[in-house]
């Protein structure tokens, strides 16, 4: 069933016509509205997932670690657009050796203690948190979710068009997962790097430390990359891109320092 022009259309055809219908479906996708998600729906789901994770993953009770991560996070949050800066963010430190961190719609930040062995100082941790928060402010999760919804309908139409059964559907689905359904697209990762760099600079963290962070990440990438790196651009290209943004980030960093923004988060 599709919604086209505000009307619901149910398609029921005998098998010999499936191939024709599949081709028509693919050709008319542009004129039909998909079951796309809204930001508010993602926020509700993010809240549930975050609470589930908090209940199932050990949370660090170390006071120093929690104060340190919260200090860096709050400094970043204060630089965000008002819609996000004025929100009460939930910052949780998970007691896990996983080298990872994340932010979720609705104001949730999770940092795994394992990443603190890679982020050697407050500036490097700010690069991580700034990057993850940028995914939220740039609506990357919403883009990813709606892209997946589009992908699923496209797979259905292509399967019909090819006249295939389970094997065709499986092949197309795997292709969709590889090409469209990565946790975040590489373009989104690069975008979050650029936006996150400005957030950390505006907060008074040294944006040059973002490159040092990725040098540390490379050292940890032995047989398999840390989870935080798994879907990101290669460290070398990433560092070059970050350096390319310094011309904008460093003046903002100097202005923030001149304005008295000098974070002193201790670990």
> 90-94 and 108-112 as β-strands: parallel, antiparallel, unpaired?
parallel
**Has 120 been annotated as catalytic?**
no
Helices (H) and strands (E) in the chain, counts: 11, 5
Between CA 190 and CA 188 the distance in angstroms is 5
Between CA 17 and CA 23 the distance in angstroms is 10
Between CA 4 and CA 44 the distance in angstroms is 28
Between CA 134 and CA 226 the distance in angstroms is 20
What are the b/e assignments for 118-134, b being 16+ CB within 10 Å?
A: bbeebbbbbbbbbbbbb
Place of tokens 């006071």: 63
Q: Which helix (H) or strand (E) holds 92?
A: strand 90-94
36 SS3 class: coil
Q: What angle do CA 239, 202, 266 make, to 5 degrees?
A: 85
- Which of 132, 138, 143, 218 is catalytic? The answer is 132
- Bridge partners of 111, per DSSP, are 93, 101
110 SS3 class: strand
Place of tokens 């800066």: 85
Q: Are 262 and 122 in contact (CB under 8 A)?
A: no
Catalytically active residues, by annotation: 132
């Amino acid at each position: 069933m599709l919604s086209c022009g505000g009307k619901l259309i149910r398609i029921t055809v005998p098998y010999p016509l499936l191939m024709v219908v599949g081709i028509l479906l693919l050709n008319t996708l542009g004129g039909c509205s998909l079951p796309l998600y809204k930001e508010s729906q993602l926020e509700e789901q993010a809240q549930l997932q975050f609470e589930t994770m908090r209940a199932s993953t050990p949370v660090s009770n170390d006071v120093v670690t929690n104060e340190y991560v919260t200090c860096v996070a709050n400094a970043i949050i204060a630089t965000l657009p008002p819609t996000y800066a004025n929100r009460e963010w939930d910052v949780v430190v998970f007691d896990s050796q996983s080298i990872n961190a994340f932010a979720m719609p609705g104001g949730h930040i999770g940092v795994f203690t394992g990443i603190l062995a890679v982020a050697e100082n407050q500036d490097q941790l700010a690069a991580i948190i700034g990057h993850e928060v940028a995914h939220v402010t740039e609506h990357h999760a919403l883009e990813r979710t709606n892209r997946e919804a589009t992908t699923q309908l496209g797979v259905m139409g292509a399967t019909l068009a090819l006249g295939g059964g389970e094997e065709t559907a499986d092949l197309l689905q795997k292709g969709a997962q590889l090409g469209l359904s990565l946790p975040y697209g590489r373009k989104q990762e690069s975008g979050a790097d650029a936006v996150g760099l400005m957030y950390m600079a505006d907060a008074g963290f040294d944006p040059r430390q973002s490159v040092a962070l990725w040098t540390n990440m490379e050292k940890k990438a032995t047989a398999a990359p840390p989870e935080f790196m798994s879907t990101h651009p290669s460290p070398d290209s990433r560092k070059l891109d970050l350096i390319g943004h310094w011309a904008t980030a460093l003046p903002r960093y100097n202005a923030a320092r001149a304005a008295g923004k000098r974070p002193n988060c201790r670990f």
